[in-house]
Structure 1
Amino acid sequence: MKVKLYNGYGWKSLGPGRAPLRCPKKTGFIVLLTSVFLLTTITYISEYLLKTAVFPDTLYKKVLNQIHSYYVVPEFLSASGNQNILAPDGVQNSPTQIPIKTTDIPIYHHVAHPSNYHFILNEPDKCSQWDPFLVFMVPVAPHDVAARNAIRSTWGNESSVQGKAVLTLFLVGLSGGAEAQQQLKEESRQHRDLLQSDFVDSYFNLTIKTMVIMDWLATRCPQATYAMKVDSDMFINPENLMSLLLSPNTPRENYITGYLMLDRPVVRDKSSKWYVAEELYPEQKYPTYLQGMGYVFSNDLPEKIVEISKEVKPFNIEDAYVGACLKQLGVAPLSPPDPSQFRDYMWQYNREDFLKVITTILRSPQQLIDIWKDVKSPIKQIKLE
């Protein structure tokens, strides 16, 4: 009995009791494929083990990851799911249209530099129309409408203080979905005070957020005399702040003041939200900087900070990073004439205290509304629940 067997190249006849004929070409091809697969697997596993062994979960690794995702797919498209979001100049962005400026910025600096981000929502002519003396720039989470509305109804509603024009704007990052993005567009259309850039909005990216604020001030609002970066959970007393800025002793160049942070150690505890790895910031202490809750500065500084940031490796503590940029510039943060006006927390409400301060942190948007109403009311009508 003869049996025919297909060996991949043709039919071979086999005699009784004979093993199938082997084809060396086919066997070699299979061996080659197996070898390639094994080498690929070994390489992948080795690369993974090397990364996890050498690099902790720090900004450095996340910077590289974000650079990779930025090159491949614009973050605002991947996060929002909306392929029709436009850059401020009206040109639709795509992976091939986004200008990447890396010639004079080291790769680990690239992700934090504001030239790599684009405004989805913008108010480019706001300052030319308003001609503000002072601009409040408020970084806030996209979903935190309550905080924005509380500010709009309180200190952010002050458009003129002691005869000087004041402007308040909010900056957000990516909203995280098409529905949320549409809501932001509606909010922007209603209030005309919302800026949105295409970075992922997270606590870890506050350094990016702050640098985008500085860049907007430098490029879209150079006519302002002063600006203030102020968090969305803050009480601001604009009258006291304006008195400080209008003082003849207050410089109008290379000036920045607020709650001074002196000789602060770098946190190396990996379980802390303030952890910074040595490869990002090798010094054991930060240079003097201003607590990020709210600091005011002359408006010549944003352009200088953005430019010098090309030489300062970014790390994830935004206010300390600004301090590192200032140190590189040779600009020393100054203590305010009355340091007690820049407060962190006041644990009990006292109307007289709030009449004296410039800043303090609050617990909720509703508390801001209640305190503002009380502070602005005549003394005989005081009633705070």
Structure 2
Amino acid sequence: MALYCSVNMTLLQWIYAGRRKWKWKLEMAVLLIIATLCLLIILQTDFQGKKSQTTRQYKVLTKLKPEPQTRPALFLSSAPKCERNLSASEIQGFSTLPMIIQDFLFYQHCRYFPMLLNAPGKCGGPENSADVFLLLAIKSSPSNYERREVLRKTWASERLQSGVWIRTVFISGTTGNGFEKDRLNKLLELENREYQDIVQWDFNDTFFNLTLKQILFLEWMERFCPDVHFLLNGDDDIFANTDNMVEYLMSLGDNDGSKHLFIGHLIQNVGPIRHPASKYYIPKQVHKSDRYPPYCGGGGFLLSRYSSRVIYNMSHSIPLLPIDDVYMGMCLEKAGLAPRSHIGVRTAGLNVPSGQQEANNPCYYREVLLVHRFLPQQIFIMWHEIQREDLDCAKRTTVSEQNKILME
């Protein structure tokens, strides 16, 4: 019995010791599992924190980073449709005005329109735009495909001229309705895909909206090309000797575009045309004053980036006027600045008394900066004529005689 009890006691002690050892192992295993889970939770929390911080930093960098030029759609604004100002109909004599004038007054306040096409990298981005010496801003309606093609191959070709860069952008609205509008928009889209030189907004590209086109462009320039030195602002039917323009602008010495410059064919001491049959008819309901400030003919003029910025800033407080060149003069006058005449800018054409045959003499155009009213084929021929190395202008007229003709 004693032996039996002794054996049982030994067995019980062994079982109890085994249980204690098993319990200790179990506790250790549980502690190990808990420690592992805690470690995993800590690591996961730290990872999420770093990931969140990285995400926040990325968002900040994304916000500060310039919009990618490979995605033009990111630049296109979705400006709300501008509603007509019905109170315009309460203006005295409104019902007697031509429909085109009425329409202008209804929408005179509208300045923001959806952008359909853009060329954001035209100047290499805002930070590199100082590399552009002369930016050619050419007003062109969607249907004027032939004109744009000729200009790209002649005086508006983008190039390094006398060691400085010339860049080109065509500014446009929309024309037509339905299928015709879509077709012309597609044409501009294909052109822009190939040349990256078109900026287009969804407004009616009409004569009375030329001022709107001008202001939209100046706003575009402030965003994408703020530091270009000089601008040529002109129509797509001008002949511009851009080689001469670069030479003239480089000769200004102390003006690198940071000072006032606005030159062209100066027009002064004139006022609004009050005859309803005229293309330039401006009634008192649109412009009360009987005088216009001095201005340069809108066919083409040269200006500095300083002056373009002044005009843009002044435009915020001056109601739009349908005549775009007069409007530029109004903005300058409000800023206390004035446009100047340049003998080489001939927006009224050359006065050559010898007749049309002599008027086609390239020697006249080798000396000028700009002449208005050229057909595309005339531009193409004249550009190549003035580039001829064997062109001998001494046989025709002397330089003094040419200048005398240009001054008439």
TM-score by length of 1: 0.70
1:128 aligns with 2:121: no
Mapped partners of 2:345, 2:254: distance in 1: 15
Q: Mean Cα displacement is larger for which, 123-132 or 251-260?
A: 123-132
Question: Using the alignment, how far apart are the partners of 2:162 and 2:90 within structure 1?
Answer: 62
Find out whether 1:118 has 2:114 as its counterpart.
Answer: yes
- For the residue of structure 1 that corresponds to 2:218, the secondary structure is helix
Q: 1:342 to 1:242 in 2, by over 3 A?
A: farther
CA distance in 1, matches of 2:385, 2:141: 27
- The gaps in structure 2 that reach 5 residues or longer are 1-87, 351-355, 394-408
The alignment partner of 1:126 has SS state of coil
What is the match of residue 273 of structure 2?
267
Q: In the alignment, which residue of structure 2 is the partner of 1:314?
A: 320
> Partners in 2 of 1:170 and 1:245 — Cα distance?
22
Offset at 1:351?
A: 1.5
Mapped partners of 2:200, 2:89: distance in 1: 35
For residues 363 and 226 of structure 1, do their structure 2 counterparts lie closer, same or farther at Cα, with a shift above 3 Å needed? closer
Aligned residues: 289
More helix by share: 2
Q: Which runs of 4+ in 1 moved over 3 A?
A: 47-55, 63-66, 248-251, 340-343
Gaps of 5+ in 1: 1-46, 67-107
Q: Distance in 2 between matches of 1:354 and 1:298?
A: 24
Given the superposition, is the C-alpha separation of residues 50 and 205 from structure 1 closer, same or farther in structure 2, using an over 3 Å criterion? closer
Q: Which one of the candidate residues 354, 377, 380 is aligned to 1:366?
A: 377
Question: What is the CA deviation profile of residues 333-382 of structure 1, one whole-angstrom value per residue up to 9, with x for unaligned ones?
Answer: 1233xx14445313511121111000002331011001111111222699
Matches within 5 A, 1:1-385: 54=95, 56-57=97-98, 61-66=102-107, 108=108, 110-111=109-110, 113=111, 116-128=112-124, 131-176=131-176, 177-249=181-253, 251=255, 252=257, 253-336=259-342, 339-346=343-350, 348-379=359-390
Output the amino acid matched with 1:352: C
Distance in 2 (alpha carbons) for counterparts of 1:370 and 1:218: 35
What's 2:70 paired with?
Answer: none
| Corresponding residue SS for 1:241 | helix
The structural deviation recorded for 1:254 is: 2.1
Shift in CA distance, 247/121, structure 1 to aligned 2, threshold 3 Å = same
Once the two structures are aligned, what percentage of the paired residues are identical?
26
Q: Secondary structure at the match of 1:313?
A: coil
Instruction: Tell me the distance in 2 between the aligned counterparts of 1:65 and 1:314.
Output: 12
CA offset at residue 52 of structure 1?
A: 7.0
TM-aligned CA distance change 1:373 to 1:299, over 3 Å: same
How large is the Cα RMSD of the aligned pairs? 2.5
Letter in 1 for 2:245: L
1:250–1:173 Cα change, 3 Å = farther
Q: Distance in 2 between matches of 1:270 and 1:300?
A: 37
Cα distance in 2 for residues equivalent to 1:287 and 1:250: 27
Structure 2 CA distance for partners of 1:308 and 1:48, relative to 1, 3 Å? closer
Aligned counterparts of 2:91 and 2:215: Cα–Cα separation in 1 = 32
- Give, in whole Å, the separation in 2 of the partners of 1:189 and 1:256: 33
Partners of 1:122 and 1:150 lie apart in 2 by 21
Asked whether the 8 Å contact 2:91–2:285 carries over to 1, the reply is: no
Kept in 2: contact 1:136–1:167 (CA 8 A): yes
Matching residue of 2:59: none
- How many Å separate the matches in 2 of 1:234 and 1:296? 13
